[in-house]
Amino acid sequence: MGTVKRLLLVLLISLLILGGFPVFTNALSLGYPFGGKIKSVTICTCPASFGWQITVGPPRPGIFMYSPFFSRLFSYYKIMTPGSYVLGVASGYMACLPISTTGCGAPIGPGGPLIRFVGTSVR
């Protein structure tokens, strides 16, 4: 058996063995996928973090930040309606800041990942 054939055989066996293991899709995705029922919405009034802090319930729960400048919203546009269902992708981080007489105040809640893409349900 020649060295080229042996090399190809080793390569084929390696691909068959390593190809059987699952690929972790979060490492390849655009961010953190989330989805569930909207539990609460808090408005962030400071111009530096203008948007909404959205608390999402199961199955992929969390606290996420929606910004009309950086987030893309798909139908049915019910992002501020508790009880609606959302499905999307978030990445990065954004704080929820209120406006005060001296500028932006202390953060409201923990903030969260910035929503990149999100779609909502009819209700």
pLDDT at 23 (0 to 100): 47
Query: Residue range 9-17: average pLDDT?
Result: 64
pLDDT in tens, 17-57: 655 544 444 445 578 999 999 999 999 999 888 999 999 99
Within-domain flag for 11:
no
pLDDT in tens, 106-115: 998 889 999 9
Q: Which residues contact 77 (CB under 8 A, 6 or more apart)?
A: 120
3 state DSSP class of 16:
helix
pTM above 0.85, yes or no: no
Tokens 């546009």 correspond to 77
Within-domain flag for 64:
yes
Within-domain flag for 18:
no
Within-domain flag for 116:
yes
Within-domain flag for 81:
yes
Within-domain flag for 24:
no
When divided into structural domains, the chain yields a total of 1
Nearest to 119 by CA among 91, 79, 92, 80: 79
| CATH code for the domain of 51 | 2.40.50
pLDDT in tens, 80-119: 999 999 999 999 999 999 998 888 889 988 899 999 999 9
Tokens 């800041």 correspond to 97
Within-domain flag for 9:
no
Within-domain flag for 58:
yes
Preceding peptide of 82 cis, ω within 30°: no
Structural domain for 55, as ranges:
30-120
Q: In this model, does residue 9 exceed pLDDT 70? A: yes
For residue 81, CA distances in Å to 120, 122, 123 come to: 10, 10, 8
